[in-house]
């Protein structure tokens, strides 16, 4: 089937590497694989952003990825329905139309703003379906984002699970109209952890996002009527790529593309502090507010390291050894901790009473005690833990752990010591032996030098001592400069002259080695 550059007509399909490209060339729609994933999705991405920085702004089948794009197809039916078929021609995703919709013909077009729109050919102004109404994790300029008063439902931006799994994650953004019209973020759709503050119509900004008041990139607007209330935003310079996204960190970010640095630059985000995102480090994970990094509590390990390595927040920490619910459990004290929510408050007295309230309850994982607030204990998973050495409001958290894991650590330490100690002893002995040998060699070298020096001094009668380079070195090493030798050297003529040619009058005596003269 032939496909127009930006339009899909009735009966036409997108298969394999076929794509639609918006008229201005900014957006492209087709099949893609994120990262190293083996799964295929159909979606919209920035065409002019380098493919190694693939930036997807909308996904159709985020819940049901495909295994093969060459035999899957996106097809527009006569009634205006878009259907995605897998390899077995089983529909895995489709647009929804009201039962009263009747069309003579339709077409789907990818617009320059990144919106994929299905329209009736005979009435182009009537939108049958559009991707802007069903956003995934991104809100583009020109799109509405709001609350439908007829259905009592909010649109949501929902994060991905990780960089390779585009299914709905645990963080979401929506419009809240209960008290004040504002944007709110939730964890797992129910636990609100951030709010933008109410909308200020005069300043055209949210109260808790002061960056909006002085920006020169986009302009926000709010509209409300009997059917809906919604926000839109437009760009002052349409040549700049910008997008609102709920990313894997659980933050809502306004990003702009920088061609100079080849990356997306954050203009502002909410919350500003990553550790303020609820449950960002998962169960039994702690967020370090200085480094903005996650780690597992003592006695725990990562259960899904792949998810964390791909930037996701669904990874969790699990115990290295299970609790024993008895005498084999203990508690470790963690200081400067921001205490988790949803605690139980037993009626006990003092720190000791709080300790026993948790120690005797098998489901209890931690407790805390303060003189003003009393005792708090936590059952089940611990979430939203934050640690900061500089936090004056930090409290002491007593975490329950299995003594078996501590015993295992001691055994491991002893096992390591039984290996390390003999190795260190052997190394020490080897060093001592090597040092002894070096000392002997030095002594022998000194003895040799002294012997050579004495031989030279006893060579009486030879006027020329052979002074090659080696001998010079030995002499220099053996006798420091300016030092008087132990013996003076004489030649034969000098001795004969001193003894008056060996006259008998100068003879002192005679021994086993011959006569001795004065």
* Contacts of the segment 458-464: beta carbons below 8 A, 24+ positions apart: 458/487, 459/489, 460/489, 460/490, 460/491, 460/492, 460/495, 461/490, 461/491, 461/492, 462/491, 463/491
Q: State residue 69's pLDDT score.
A: 95
- Between 20 and 465, the more confident residue is 20
**Residue pointed to by tokens 């909006």:** 212
Q: State residue 468's pLDDT score.
A: 40
Q: State residue 420's pLDDT score.
A: 47
Cβ atoms within 10 A of the Cβ of 29, count? 26
Please state the rounded mean pLDDT for residues 201-215: 85
Respond yes or no on whether the N-terminal peptide bond of residue 275 is cis (omega within 30° of 0): no
Q: How does 385-404 read in b/e, with b if 16+ C-beta sit within 10 Å?
A: bbbbeeeeebbebbbbbbee
Shared fold status for 1-132 and 135-272: yes
Question: 135-272 is classed in which CATH architecture?
Answer: Orthogonal Prism (2.90)
Q: State residue 407's pLDDT score.
A: 52
Residue 223 has pLDDT above 80, yes or no: yes
**According to the per-residue pLDDT averaged within each range, which of 2-6, 30-34, 309-313, 359-363 is highest?**
30-34
Cβ atoms within 10 A of the Cβ of 475, count? 16
- Between 486 and 23, the more confident residue is 23
Phi, psi for 308 (deg, rounded to 5): -65, -40
Sheet holding 374-379, edge to edge: 293-296, 285-288, 385-387, 329-338, 395-402, 364-370, 374-379
How far is it, in rounded angstroms, from Cα 126 to Cα 234?
Answer: 22
Which residues sit opposite 234 in a β-bridge?
219
Fold of the domain spanning 1-132: Agglutinin, subunit A (2.90.10)
Which of 12-21, 250-259, 313-322, 391-400 comes out lowest in average pLDDT?
313-322
Residue 235 has pLDDT above 80, yes or no: yes
Tens of pLDDT, residue by residue over 390-441, are 666 788 999 999 887 655 444 443 444 444 445 555 655 556 555 555 566 5
Tens of pLDDT, residue by residue over 88-97, are 999 999 998 6
Return the CATH number of the domain spanning residue range 318-407. 3.50.4
Residue 78 has pLDDT above 50, yes or no: yes
Nearest to 361 by CA among 342, 372, 383, 376: 376
How far is it, in rounded angstroms, from Cα 283 to Cα 382?
Answer: 5
Cα(first)–Cα(last) distance of the chain, in Å? 129
Q: Give 364-401 as a DSSP string.
A: EEEEEEETTTEEEEEES---SEEE-TT-TT-EEEEEEE
How far is it, in rounded angstroms, from Cα 158 to Cα 102?
Answer: 32
Tens of pLDDT, residue by residue over 131-159, are 999 999 999 999 999 999 999 999 999 99
Q: What is the token pair recorded at 99?
A: 């039962």
Question: What ranges do the domains of the chain cover?
Answer: 1-132, 135-272, 318-407
Tens of pLDDT, residue by residue over 183-197, are 999 999 989 999 999
Q: Give the pLDDT band of residue 465 (cuts 50, 70, 90).
A: very low
**DSSP 8-class letter at 40:** B
Residue 458 has pLDDT above 70, yes or no: no
Nearest to 206 by CA among 252, 159, 259: 252
**Which SS3 state, helix, strand or coil, does residue 307 take?**
helix
Tens of pLDDT, residue by residue over 504-517, are 667 776 665 566 66
Please state the rounded mean pLDDT for residues 53-66: 97
How far is it, in rounded angstroms, from Cα 183 to Cα 181?
Answer: 7
């Amino acid at each position: 089937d032939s496909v127009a550059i930006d339009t899909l007509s009735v009966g036409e399909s997108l298969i394999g590497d076929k794509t639609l490209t918006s008229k201005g060339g900014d957006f492209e729609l087709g099949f893609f694989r994120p990262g190293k994933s083996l799964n295929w999705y159909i979606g919209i991405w920035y065409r002019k952003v380098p493919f190694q920085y693939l930036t997807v702004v909308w996904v159709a089948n985020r819940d049901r990825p495909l295994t093969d794009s060459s035999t899957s197809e996106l097809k527009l039916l006569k009634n205006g329905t878009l259907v995605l078929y897998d390899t077995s021609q089983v529909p895995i995703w489709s647009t929804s139309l009201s039962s009263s919709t009747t069309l003579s013909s339709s077409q789907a077009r990818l617009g320059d703003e990144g919106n994929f729109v299905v329209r009736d050919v005979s009435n182009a102004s009537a939108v049958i379906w559009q991707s802007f109404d069903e956003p995934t994790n991104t809100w583009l300029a020109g799109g509405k984002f709001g609350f439908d008063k007829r259905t009592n439902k909010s649109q949501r931006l929902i994060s991905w699970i990780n960089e390779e799994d585009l299914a709905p994650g645990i963080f979401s953004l929506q419009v809240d109209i209960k008290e004040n019209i504002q944007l709110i973020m939730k964890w797992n759709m129910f636990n609100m952890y951030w709010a933008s503050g109410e909308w200020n119509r005069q300043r055209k900004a949210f109260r808790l996002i002061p960056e909006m008041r002085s920006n020169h990139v986009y302009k926000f607007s709010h509209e409300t009527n009997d059917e809906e209330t919604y926000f839109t935003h437009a760009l002052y310079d349409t040549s700049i790529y910008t997008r609102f996204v709920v990313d894997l960190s659980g933050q809502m970010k306004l990003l702009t593309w920088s061609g100079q640095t080849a990356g997306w630059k954050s203009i502002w985000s909410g919350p500003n502090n990553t550790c303020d995102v609820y449950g960002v480090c998962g169960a039994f994970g702690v967020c370090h507010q200085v480094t903005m990094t996650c780690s597992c509590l003592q006695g725990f390990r990562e259960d899904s390291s792949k998810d964390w390595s791909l930037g996701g927040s669904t990874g969790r920490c699990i115990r290295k050894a299970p609790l024993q619910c008895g005498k084999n459990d203990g508690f470790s004290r963690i200081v400067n901790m921001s205490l988790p929510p949803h605690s139980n408050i037993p009626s006990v007295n003092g720190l000791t009473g709080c300790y026993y309230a948790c120690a005797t309850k098998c489901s209890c994982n931690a407790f805390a005690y303060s003189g003003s607030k009393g005792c708090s204990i936590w059952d089940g998973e611990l979430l939203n833990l934050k640690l900061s050495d500089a936090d004056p409001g930090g409290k002491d958290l007593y975490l329950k752990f299995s003594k078996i894991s501590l015993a295992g650590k001691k055994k491991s330490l002893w096992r390591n010591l039984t290996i390390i100690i003999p190795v260190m002893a052997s190394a020490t002995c080897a060093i001592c032996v090597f040092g002894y040998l070096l000392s002997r060699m030095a002594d022998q070298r000194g003895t040799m030098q002294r012997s050579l020096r004495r031989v030279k001094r006893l060579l009486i009668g030879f006027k020329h001592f052979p002074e090659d380079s080696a001998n010079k070195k030995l002499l220099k090493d053996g006798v420091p400069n300016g030092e008087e030798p132990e013996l003076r050297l004489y030649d034969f003529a000098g001795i004969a002259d001193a003894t008056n040619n060996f006259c008998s009058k100068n003879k002192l005596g005679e021994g086993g080695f011959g006569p001795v003269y004065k």
